[in-house]
Amino acid sequence: MGEGRALTVTGWVLGGIGVVLLAVAAYWGFRGYESVTMSTDSMAPTFRKGDRVAVEKSNGNGLHHGEMVIYRTSDRYDGADVLQRVIALGGDHLVFDGTQLLLNGSALVEPYLDGGNQGTSPAYDVQVPKGRMFTLGDNRADSMDSRFFLADQSGTLSVRVVRGRTIDNPAMTLLLGGSALGGTLLALAGAGFGLAGRVVRRRHLAAVVPYGQSSSRPQLRPFVRR
């Protein structure tokens, strides 16, 4: 195989695979799915920092207690996307007495908490208005959630800020995250191999000396008048 041709072919193959994977990610994105990466441990142990989470894009209609949602609001967290669990919805009465969380008078069962740790926060008593929700992180000791905004409508949020819900499907998480990340890396690798192959070919062509010509530069002799 000619000089640099192997690198070029490798680049085309890797780049092609990368484009296919990116197309898969784009297809599922068009269908209403995406993959996000946890930037904090606020949802540990369910999701830890660095974990990729599959999300189905949706609004706040038909929310259920215990669902994990992604929301965005301009007046909190500088407008960044936030992943938290829905604890209470419109019409609910939520009470935390310092040790136990009560929803409508009954102790809330939360198997997702690490050892049942509720963290340390002041007691609160919230009546959730219609069309709003009260959210908490699973890592109660390290989550800035509705508890920190009790002075603003008792910490509740409009369900309209919801833009997605998590999918309890590891295969979908792998598909979305792997396709996007793998496709990007392979596309970049393909471009790198292709560029390397082009450089090698150019250097090879520049080094070829046409038949019949000396590879050394002609010697210049001084003109001597006799």
Q: Where are the domains of the chain?
A: 33-169
DSSP-assigned letter for residue 38: -
Largest CA distance in the chain: 121
Full-model pTM: 0.65
Domain 33-169 in CATH 2.10.109.10? yes
Q: 14 is written with which tokens?
A: 């890797």
Residue 25 or 143, more confident: 143
Q: How confident is the model at residue 174 (pLDDT cuts 50, 70, 90)?
A: low
**Distances 207 to 7, 123, 204, 212 between C-alpha atoms, Å:** 19, 79, 5, 15
Residue 167 or 159, more confident: 159
Mind listing the pLDDT tens digit for each residue in 195-215?
A: 766 776 677 666 655 555 554
